[in-house]
Amino acid sequence: MRRLAFLVLPWLLLCVACGPTSSRRFDPTQVNFQVTYAPQYSGILYPSLVLGLSHSSMTLPDSQSLFSVTLQAPVNDAVVRIVVDSSALNYVTIQQEVLPNKGQTYTLYPQIKWKYDKLYATKQPVSVDFTFTCFVNDEEIDVKNVRLSCRSVNECLLSLAYNGRTYDYKWLFAGYVNEDHPDIEKILSDILDQGVVSRFMGYMKGSVTVEDQVFAVWNYALERGISYSSITCTSNPTRSARVQHIRFFDEVYNTRQANCVDACVFFASILRKIGLKPVIFVEPCHAYLGYYTDRQKKNIALLETTMTAWVQFPTLQRYLDENGHLPADRYEKLKQYLTADQQRRYEEGTMTFEELKRCVSRTIFEKASTYNRESYEANKAAFADTSNSDYKMLDIEQLRRFVQPIN
């Protein structure tokens, strides 16, 4: 019996091999199923872009979706199902449509079901494969794979050149502003403990209290010791796009480091939380903060946020002697921020170190409030010109209709 099975098995395998090769009803070459990733992104996926627009109806340039699918209907009223397999960054995604006319080519735009937590957790570049399977009337027609280079979520797209045009993406800065970050509640409590203001009232009491509230946030940043640190470069190889590494709110808070954009993001997040209306002004090679001093947005104040790095209060604290005084060399560096009367009081011992810090903080705040005024006035027309990609006035309140916090 075993011998018979041994002889029959090869014969059966031969019959199978020589039998019909397919029972397909539709010719894959006729359907011509193709998958295209938005060509303007040069095979690169930006998590920040996906996350920022996750609740938006904003249309990306020259594309209704990151992925497009084209195919030709092999019969009238063909039921087409596109299945995108699960990957490290997405769940299984299914799109089903009826294609009415045989022989006509159709384009579909699958809306990927992203794993948003995985996108946010992407801190360095990785390669990701997206697999698309096409079914027509429940028959599997073809499978296509698209491999993309996924960038760090900190990598923000600034501009993109495509088809002879340049597209501006600086509006994506608003995605890094996060007024809902849970750390802000503790920060606000710490700010109130410092006693600069007794409460946060937004615009309830006029422009003077608005400035006081902003100064309270400023003073906190100096007490925190946020210093200037520029890390903007990335390993992105594309030549058609300009990108920049941007720190998130909690990264600025924890590392105490920020460049001009990072610091604007940090301040704007807190100002939004306390009911104020911040603006980020972007010029070539620089960004600075603005905020409206009235609810109607008639008047705007400016703030050079990188000037928090002019002094390091946490470092100075470590140099205090047993009487709470600074060494002469350390104090000498602070004198430029003190009036003659303030210097006298400190040198006589009638001003505490805490009072000294507050005076220094106020002086630097006043300087930071006027630092960009001349540039702002000179470039008002450029900021008002929406077609000017070099100068942008990013009103976070307005952009919130399109761009959500990334984290």
CATH number at residue 60: 2.60.40
- Does residue 20 lie within any of the structural domains? no
Residue whose pair of structure tokens reads 């300087």 in the numeric block: 367
Selected residue with higher pLDDT from 156 and 1:
156
* Domain limit, last residue, from 150, 167, 182: 150
Residue 268 and residue 366 in one domain: yes
Looking at the structure, do residues 185 and 205 belong to the same domain, yes or no?
yes
CA atoms lying within 13 Å on the CB side of residue 254: 6
Domain for residue 405, yes or no?
Answer: no
Domain final residue pick, 131, 150, 169: 150
Report yes or no: 401 and 375 within 8 Å, Cβ to Cβ. no
Half-sphere exposure of 350 (CA within 13 A, CB side): 6
Structure confidence at residue 14 (pLDDT): 42
Please tell me whether residues 170 and 139 are part of one structural domain: no
- Please write the tens of the pLDDT for every residue from 128-147: 999 999 999 999 999 999 99
Q: Do 160 and 145 belong together in one domain?
A: no
For residue 16, being part of any structural domain is answered with no
Task: Report pLDDT for 234.
Answer: 61
Number of domains in the chain: 2
User: Are 135 and 176 in a shared domain?
Assistant: no
Same domain, 171 and 134: no
In order of 168, 253, 396, 400, the CA distances from 279 in angstroms are: 17, 20, 6, 12
The reply to whether 407 falls in a domain is no
The boundaries of the domain holding residue 138 are: 27-150
CB atoms within 10 A of CB 29: 9
Residues 188 and 90 in one domain: no
Same domain, 82 and 118: yes
192-210 pLDDT tens trace:
999 999 999 999 988 889 9
Q: What is the pLDDT at residue 286?
A: 92
- As a whole number of angstroms, the distance between CA 156 and CA 161 comes to 15
Question: What per-residue confidence (pLDDT) applies to 54?
Answer: 85
Could you give the 3-state DSSP secondary structure of residue 281? Answer: strand
What integer pLDDT is reported at residue 263 of this predicted model? 96
Q: Are residues 71 and 105 in the same domain?
A: yes
Task: Give pLDDT tens digits for 74-90.
Answer: 999 999 999 999 999 99
Among residues of the chain, what percentage have pLDDT more than 70? 91
pLDDT value of position 85: 98
Residue 232 and residue 130 share a domain: no
Query: 166 and 300: one domain?
Result: yes
Which is higher by pLDDT, 386 or 17?
386
Q: What is the pTM of this model?
A: 0.87
How many angstroms separate the CA atoms of 341 and 204, rounded? 34
In a domain, 13, yes or no: no
R_g over Cα of the chain: 30
Q: pLDDT-based confidence at 16, cuts 50/70/90?
A: very low
Q: Is the pLDDT of residue 235 over 90?
A: no
DSSP, collapsed to helix, strand or coil, labels residue 314 as helix
In this structure, is residue 4 part of a structural domain?
no
Distance CA 188, CA 252 (A): 16
- Residue 232 pLDDT exceeds 90: no
Structural domain contains residue 356 = yes
Q: Are residues 101 and 179 in the same domain?
A: no
Q: Mean pLDDT throughout 227-247?
A: 78
Task: Answer with the residue of higher pLDDT: 90 or 58.
Answer: 90
Domain membership of residue 391 (yes or no) is yes
Domain boundary among 90, 118, 150: 150
The pLDDT value recorded for residue 214 is 98
